[in-house]
Structure 1
Amino acid sequence: MYIDFSQCFAPSIPSQLCPLVLIVVLLGIIFCPFHLFYNTARQWFGITLGRIMLSGLLPVEFRDFFIADELNSMAFSLWMSIYFFCVYSWHWNDLDLHCNVPKMWVAPLIACFPPFWRFLQCLRRYYDSGEKVHLINAMKYSTSILSTVMAGVRRIHSGPTIEVVWILMSIINSSYTSIWDVKIDWGLLDLSSSNFLLRDDLVFYKWTYYVAIPLNIMLRFSWAINKAGLVYSSQTITFATAAFEAFRRFVWNFYRLENEHLNNCGNYRAIKEIPLPFSLQEAYRSSADQTLEEGSIRLSSDEDEVVLSPVSLMPNSMMPATPNTNLRTSVDLGRVPTLKKSATFASQGTFYGRRDFESRQDRDDFALYGVPSRQGSMVGQVLERIRTFAATDDHRDGESDSEADESD
């Protein structure tokens, strides 16, 4: 903007080329194939955008709908992107005649892409999970699509009837999205919470939630500024409304990620330990139950009692040479976890996203308790065996040196 208005490089770089140079540089950075400018992050972003454009065809991950929600706040930028291509196609001539973007049908059509992608994602999540809450969320984005279409119709064919329909659709959409933001995305407004109208688990200061809730609702209704009849020009009001939406989404991100994190911890999708009692799949797998997913956890009922020794908790790579076939192992090693076993299990769950946890924490647990606290990945087991063999060789070398010294 400084180069554009100051004309410091004119006439070598005329003012009309400044936006084009900016776009070319940004696209060059995004699609740069070399390991520069955080190549892995740019690859992640590009793959995510590709998955969003294929919404409905692929299973929906968190990053898919999170970035798609970010794109929903860029409706103004997508709307005005038409202007960029128009001015260069007409070589900056007669722009008022040829590039009246608010009167173009293609502008609201492009602005409808982000909510349409989220609509497809909601349908795919309902197809995969069968949870009706995704259908309710899909209805929310359908109201966003209708309000965007009516905003385009209002700009092209103004009239009292269209004005009333636009206001009605905007009120429905803003109310719907405001309630969804606070109640579902942020997990607030819990009447039974110990924190008034919030939730029991909070990460940020309590007063920030009481500020963010009304602020989010007010900014969801920022479109009403256009209807207030202020003395400012419509272009200024439109730009201010887009800036308010960007700020609202910026605040939304923090509380949305906070709620996702707390839900992951509460549902044991992002933890390091699983509370006892639970039965290990390796110890209680029967011949009729060989198709369990790796890492599945099966809670047992209160019938038979089994005491597991630390040996039974070891990875297969660290098991003794002689297998211990007795499931009812009773070893007096102090405080050994006691588990219950029965022929039929009360419930069954899956350790979501079976992952190789931090090796540092594993080493700390091994130093404290003498046994690894969790089953590692296949790669981790191979590396552990290599380290075991290396330690064994060093020990043998040390014994050989000692024997040689004694013989001398």
Structure 2
Amino acid sequence: MFIIPPESSPLNPHRTMKFGKEFASQMVPEWQAAYMNYNHLKILVKEISIFRRLQQNGSPPSSQANPPPPLQGSSMKKKVSLHRAFSGLTNSNPDNKDKEDEVILVSAMHQSSEENYQTIFLRSSEDGGEAELHFFRRLDDEFNKVINFYKAKVGEMVNEADELSKQMNALIALRMKLEDPAFCSSSPVFSSRLFDEEQIRGYLRQLYMHSKRRTGSDHRIDKEHEMVSLGVLNHVKINVASESPISSLKHAFSSSKSGVSFSKRELRDAERKLKQAFIEFHQKLRYLKSYSFLNRLAFSKIMKKYDKVTSRNASKAYLEMVEKSYLTQSNEVAKLVESVEAVFIEHFSNGNRSQGLKMLRLKAKTDKHRITFFMGCFVGCSLALVVAIVLITHARKLLKSDGRDQYMTNVFPLYSVFGYLVLHMLMYAGNVYYWKRFRINYSFIFGFKPNTELGFREILLISSALSVLALAAVLSNLEMDMDESIKSFRTVTELLPLGLVIVVLLIAVCPFNIVYRTNRFFLITCLWHCICAPLYKVTLPDFFLADQLTSQVQLLRNLQFYICYYGWGDYKKRESTRCQGALYNNVYLVIAIIPYWIRCAQCLRRLFEGEDSSQGVNALKYLSTVASVITRTFYAQKKGLTLKIMAASTSTVATVFNTYWDLVCDWGLIRRNSKNPWLRDRLLLPHRSIYFLAMVVNVILRLAWMQTVLDFHEGPFLHRTALTAMVASLEIIRRGVWNFFRLENEHLNNVGKYRAFKSVPLPFSYENHKDV
């Protein structure tokens, strides 16, 4: 996700990218505001350069009338150099710098618990000194910002290390109880006190030394060593029970808690959770180490640029201060990294250092050329198939044939399923491209495993491959229908869409490590959570997927048509008269309601858990949408003025409700007192007009339901099923636009809270707050 420089090397010197862009590309996106503002300081240096250039081309009249004092300019440099030469002969320290040659003085001031650095510019009386004075003031502000942020984060890391130490304490006690209970009960060693928790690194080191017993190198531990007490298990609760619908129901209807069984399964689950916590903690430490490295390098670059422009030697004094500051001298992060690696290697990789470091130090994901190659091949094939279908349809005048209505009614809905999927994936690929371009950390927001998130090329590869299969099936269907010599293969012709759906489903649930298995299982897991809502705790990927389902109602209805057409219809004769009864219409209505019910249930779950009180209003929004869907469906089936009025009124209320929620809550827009009128205080897109255009498009596409109420069903060149497909496609496009701004707002909320890491659930929780 990020390019982390090596532990002891600068940024890649072979890259031609300017430092400013390289610096920005390696920032942790959520910490961007905490980094040194290199671009602004660079602008201030340019202003100094412009002023000095104007001075060299021609001095202002005031400076000609009042020449500078004799100790300024070239005469001062000459006298200083002469004085240096003379003092070097008589002074025992030839490197002693003359006070008159000093440019800045840097001092540290202690205010409450913070340590602020202040630079005094000694040449402010010179022409242009105000600009340089302003530069050093901003430089101090940036350095103090970096120092304070770094101190705060180091403090958080130390506290988290303390918590992980307690977790390891309980894990080792649980291991000893399950692996050697006889020895644990008879040995007096385990009645001693816990490890000393004052020094986190020393505590983790003791855990490392204790692991020697588990590997068999020292079966009997010296009593002088402080060992883990099995009594810690009396004060902790094991949080290893996996969430399921049954466990959620038990928790909801039962107030009693089951006791701890200390089983092997609990040990395995605890080890898995704590292993993930250590990996995440190590990643945090690496990001914090990279933060220190990048900022120190940025201060060095900007001071050297200042020296080059002003021909001064101020960087030496300032960088000496940087080297002596907490940003450089602090070694807590390095010690924690070393200790975490030692403990992880011994406890979670069986002492295999290379394997342990491979799990901890994840390499950045790289693009593969073969993905781009096959993506281009599939896109080209898709375009060629589209052209072939259009030419065949036009050449043989299929739109005017007698079987046009039968084909559009029975076959077109079968293939349109793949069109909806491909269009949705294309919109998602566009979202991923722009999320990456504007540094929206979508992989962290969705909670993907490191280096498993799909880039836009991979998504385009999947969508283009699916489109090739679907378009080839459509073309084969047309050829088989029109070629008299193969009329006998009517059954094969009609089974092509069903066979393609089966192939797609088999690939989706394939257990083998092919076709992005991690992402497929992640999608299936989120889909299962949506189906079982509200029995699972709601996470962002779950309700984000449920929102996508609300825009794929027509796809779900077409899947219902698949079941009816191939189960009860006469697909060999291309007839679906049995798919028009009362039962089918009732299921047709329920299918449209299910996605909105899922979102309503998720909102109620979040409301009852106390996460957000506004989720109650959000649930009412989806209930209003359910009411509009019911009235529109009844009106489309039965007609009538009363149903028309009800459909129009409920749809209007739902549209206003949904549009307001989209713009204000999901996108964070419509802020009157914002720095950007009617928008947010902070925007990622460079042009504000894009936000207003997106709002207008959202409102217009929200009104697509009007074609149902206004009875605009078909025209001379547009079949009613094609019109339905167009309206469904517009809704998918609207959802794709919504996705970008929804995630942008989520990212900016994370940025405002400097939230760059996911919280990993720990396996043990202490029953009391005092250290046991």
* TM-score with structure 1 setting the length: 0.64
Q: Does 1:219 align with 2:698?
A: no
Q: Does 1:3 align with 2:482?
A: no
Shift of 1:271: 6.4
The amino acid that maps onto 1:265 is: V
Higher relative contact order (CA 8 A, sep 6+): 2
Q: Does 1:148 align with 2:634?
A: no
Aligned counterparts, 1:208-287, within 5 A: 208-230=690-712, 232=715, 233-270=719-756
The amino acid that maps onto 1:241 is: V
Q: Does 1:117 align with 2:598?
A: yes
Aligned counterparts, 1:347-358, within 5 A: none
Counterpart position of 2:586? 105
The amino acid that maps onto 2:749 is: N
The amino acid that maps onto 2:690 is: T
Aligned counterparts, 1:330-341, within 5 A: none
Q: Distance in 2 between matches of 1:6 and 1:192?
A: 62
Shift of 1:152: 2.1
The amino acid that maps onto 1:245 is: E
Distance of aligned partners of 1:229 and 1:161 in 2 relative to their CA distance in 1, 3 Å threshold: closer
- Greater shift, 202-211 or 26-35, is seen at 202-211
Q: Percent identity?
A: 31
Aligned counterparts, 1:255-334, within 5 A: 255-270=741-756, 289-290=769-770
Shift of 1:86: 1.2
Counterpart position of 1:61? 539
The amino acid that maps onto 2:543 is: F
Shift of 1:94: 7.1
Uncovered stretches (5+) of structure 2, i.e. residues with no partner:
1-473, 759-767
Q: Distance in 2 between matches of 1:101 and 1:270?
A: 54
Distance of aligned partners of 1:229 and 1:155 in 2 relative to their CA distance in 1, 3 Å threshold: closer
Aligned counterparts, 1:34-49, within 5 A: 34-49=512-527
String of CA shifts for 1:277-310, please: whole Å, max 9, x gaps. xxxxxxxxxxx8438xxxxxxxxxxxxxxxxxxx
Give 2:570's match in structure 1, choosing from 91, 94, 109: 91
Q: Does 1:17 align with 2:490?
A: no
Counterpart position of 2:607? 126
The answer to whether the Cα contact below 8 Å between 2:636 and 2:708 also exists between their aligned partners in 1 is no
Q: Distance in 2 between matches of 1:137 and 1:101?
A: 35
Shift of 1:255: 0.5
Q: Distance in 1 between matches of 2:479 and 2:737?
A: 34
The amino acid that maps onto 1:46 is: I
The answer to whether the Cα contact below 8 Å between 2:632 and 2:709 also exists between their aligned partners in 1 is no
Q: Distance in 1 between matches of 2:579 and 2:477?
A: 20
Q: Does 1:168 align with 2:649?
A: yes
The answer to whether the Cα contact below 8 Å between 1:226 and 1:234 also exists between their aligned partners in 2 is no
The amino acid that maps onto 1:222 is: A
The answer to whether the Cα contact below 8 Å between 1:105 and 1:152 also exists between their aligned partners in 2 is no
Q: Distance in 2 between matches of 1:116 and 1:199?
A: 31
Q: Distance in 2 between matches of 1:290 and 1:53?
A: 42
SS in structure 2 opposite 1:99? Answer: helix
Shift of 1:31: 0.6
> Which structure dedicates a bigger proportion of its chain to helix?
2
- Greater shift, 222-231 or 247-256, is seen at 222-231
Q: Distance in 2 between matches of 1:105 and 1:198?
A: 43
- Greater shift, 119-128 or 258-267, is seen at 258-267
The answer to whether the Cα contact below 8 Å between 2:669 and 2:680 also exists between their aligned partners in 1 is yes
Query: What's the Cα RMSD here?
Result: 2.4
String of CA shifts for 1:325-379, please: whole Å, max 9, x gaps. xxxxxxxxxxxxxxxxxxxxxxxxxxxxxxxxxxxxxxxxxxxxxxxxxxxxxxx
Distance of aligned partners of 1:271 and 1:192 in 2 relative to their CA distance in 1, 3 Å threshold: farther
SS in structure 2 opposite 1:59? Answer: coil
Aligned length: 277
Q: Distance in 1 between matches of 2:581 and 2:656?
A: 28
The amino acid that maps onto 1:33 is: P
* TM-score with structure 2 setting the length: 0.34
Distance of aligned partners of 1:49 and 1:96 in 2 relative to their CA distance in 1, 3 Å threshold: closer
String of CA shifts for 1:242-262, please: whole Å, max 9, x gaps. 010010001111111111111
The answer to whether the Cα contact below 8 Å between 1:80 and 1:107 also exists between their aligned partners in 2 is no
Greater C-alpha Rg: 2
String of CA shifts for 1:97-150, please: whole Å, max 9, x gaps. 212389711111011111001000000000111632000000000011111111
SS in structure 2 opposite 1:105? Answer: helix
String of CA shifts for 1:55-99, please: whole Å, max 9, x gaps. 111211000100000000001111222211111122325735212
Q: Distance in 2 between matches of 1:271 and 1:203?
A: 21
Q: Distance in 1 between matches of 2:636 and 2:705?
A: 14
SS in structure 2 opposite 1:131? Answer: coil
The amino acid that maps onto 1:70 is: Q
Q: Distance in 2 between matches of 1:59 and 1:153?
A: 34
Shift of 1:229: 4.8
Shift of 1:234: 3.1
Q: Distance in 2 between matches of 1:178 and 1:52?
A: 23
Shift of 1:227: 3.5
- Greater shift, 231-240 or 33-42, is seen at 231-240
- Greater shift, 109-118 or 195-204, is seen at 195-204
Uncovered stretches (5+) of structure 1, i.e. residues with no partner:
273-287, 292-408
The answer to whether the Cα contact below 8 Å between 1:140 and 1:176 also exists between their aligned partners in 2 is yes
Shift of 1:194: 1.5
Aligned counterparts, 1:323-402, within 5 A: none
The amino acid that maps onto 1:68 is: A
Q: Distance in 1 between matches of 2:564 and 2:576?
A: 11
The answer to whether the Cα contact below 8 Å between 1:150 and 1:166 also exists between their aligned partners in 2 is yes
The answer to whether the Cα contact below 8 Å between 1:190 and 1:199 also exists between their aligned partners in 2 is yes
Q: Distance in 2 between matches of 1:200 and 1:261?
A: 14
- Greater shift, 15-24 or 261-270, is seen at 261-270
Counterpart position of 1:324? none
Q: Distance in 2 between matches of 1:101 and 1:65?
A: 34
The answer to whether the Cα contact below 8 Å between 1:4 and 1:15 also exists between their aligned partners in 2 is yes
Give 1:184's match in structure 2, choosing from 665, 676, 685: 665
Q: Distance in 1 between matches of 2:740 and 2:670?
A: 17
